[in-house]
Amino acid sequence: MSDVKKLYIKTYGCQMNVYDSERMAEVMGGQGYVETKTPEDADMILLNTCHIREKAAEKVYSELGRFKPLKTAKPDLKIGVAGCVAQAEGEEIMLRQPMVDLVVGPQSYHRLPAMEAKVDAGEKALDTDFPEEDKFEKLKGRPKAQRGPTAFLTVQEGCDKFCAFCVVPYTRGAEVSRPVDRILTEARDLVERGVREITMLGQNVNAYHGAGPDGDWSLAKLIWALNDIDGLERIRFTTSHPNDMTDDLIAAHGECEKLMPYLHLPVQSGSDKILKRMNRSHTAESYLKLIERIREARPDILMSGDFIVGFPEETEADFQDTMELIRQVNYGQAFSFKYSTRPGTPAAERAQVDEAEASDRLKRLQALITDQQRAVQDSMVGREVQVLFEKPGRLEGQMVGKSEYLHAVHVAGAPVQRGDIGRVRIVESGPNSLAGELI
């Protein structure tokens, strides 16, 4: 038997989980684990979970059920639950699924090796603290493996906004910003390893206020510092709250050449009554004004957003306000969800909208968004874009990459490598991507 142990990680939910899964793989790499894509081969299975909507949490339990035969066949197999379901449900998970050996919250990943040792000693391991120590500092990566051309970099975690529907302030805790020097060191390291585009992540990334050499830095200041890193070509960030779109950040969209013209700015609803009940502390009008200012700074910016339909007490008229706001903004992309009751959040106590009605609204909203998305994408035909090539496409000789606007672009027969940026003329718009020719 070889000494190499195999780790299977499945990631649910947001991009921050994608980043965290990479860090967990690195930590367990230090314990002799290599990643596998097949759970059947694994010595350890980790589910990095999402708790944002009920369905997301339920998926974890059904997935765990699927692993039961593997555990029966191989009793040494360690099964762990990480992420926000781990944080929110803790010990409950082990009660509901006794085959789970370890439960680890998002702030405790650096302690995985000690938890594994505990499991080896025949105990269960649970760690869902919000420790003071900096997990990122302790999550130092493996030596210099080459990376693909794009990477996530978490700069901020947690949220203090307490939107009435949302579990994030409870599962991820209060807002914390990582210090500037650590972020810049990590960014330079990524670039040395081949990364050309960095997406800074945070549940409330534009509320970033990390300690810099000369006092706290804003996200805009951080963007400008990244802009100075040679070899880094593109900067993105997600996800933002309208109230934290400061003047310097809006200006950066017009002035900072490496900052890409794409902004994910969730509004959730277009009804002031609902926004108030959601505790969003902005109005539909203030959001629209904000977008006007952002578009003044960067006229071609592609707007993206999040919407919730069927929030408690949402009437058809409220919903129509949301549809009207969408018409006014004209989104290039958007994510929309039916309201999902999250226990422990303020909205969970309120009168719920009829399920069928909410489903119907979601359908109508998604149809409108799809039309807009498609029209924005179609309007790219004939235009020149810059594509950062990420991987070969399905067809022979084809490469796929992303434009500045985050559209996937296929280019056939192009003499380009992963990580190259090429000027491309868009010739065709398909259902989910564009096709173009290298200029």
Q: Please give the Cα distance from 112 to 44 (Å, whole number).
A: 12
In the bound complex, what is the minimum distance in angstroms from residue 239's beta carbon to ligand SF4?
A: 7
Residue from the set 203, 238, 322, 372 that interacts with ligand SF4 by CB under 6 A: 203
CA angle 352, 203, 248 (to 5 degrees): 120
DSSP 39: G
Residue from the set 42, 168, 400, 426 that interacts with ligand SF4 by CB under 6 A: 168
The residues near 382 (Cβ < 8 Å, ≥ 6 apart) are 425, 426
In the bound complex, what is the minimum distance in angstroms from residue 345's beta carbon to ligand SF4?
A: 9
162 touches, from ligand 5AD, ligand SF4, none (C-beta below 5 to 8 Å by class): ligand SF4
The residues near 349 (Cβ < 8 Å, ≥ 6 apart) are none
Residue from the set 308, 325, 387, 388 that interacts with ligand 5AD by CB under 6 A: 308
Q: Please give the Cα distance from 170 to 172 (Å, whole number).
A: 6
Residue from the set 337, 353, 401, 407 that interacts with ligand 5AD by CB under 6 A: 337
Q: How many amino acids of this chain bind ligand 5AD (CB under 6 A)?
A: 12
Q: Please give the Cα distance from 106 to 188 (Å, whole number).
A: 25
Q: Are 21 and 15 in contact (CB under 8 A)?
A: no
How far from each other are the two terminal CA atoms of the chain, in whole angstroms? 53
Instruction: Give the residue from 152, 163, 193 showing the smallest Cα distance to 14.
Output: 152
Residue from the set 268, 372, 373, 403 that interacts with ligand 5AD by CB under 6 A: 268
Nearer to ligand 5AD, 165 or 237 (CB): 165
Residue from the set 19, 61, 130, 162 that interacts with ligand SF4 by CB under 6 A: 162
In the bound complex, what is the minimum distance in angstroms from residue 50's beta carbon to ligand SF4?
A: 12
53 touches, from ligand SF4, ligand 5AD, none (C-beta below 5 to 8 Å by class): ligand 5AD
Q: What single string gives the DSSP state of each residue in 280-328?
A: ----HHHHHHHHHHHHHH-TTPEEEEEEEES-TT--HHHHHHHHHHHHH
Is there binding between residue 16 and ligand SF4 (CB under 6 A)?
no
In the bound complex, what is the minimum distance in angstroms from residue 52's beta carbon to ligand SF4?
A: 8
Is there binding between residue 169 and ligand SF4 (CB under 6 A)?
yes
Is there binding between residue 240 and ligand SF4 (CB under 6 A)?
no
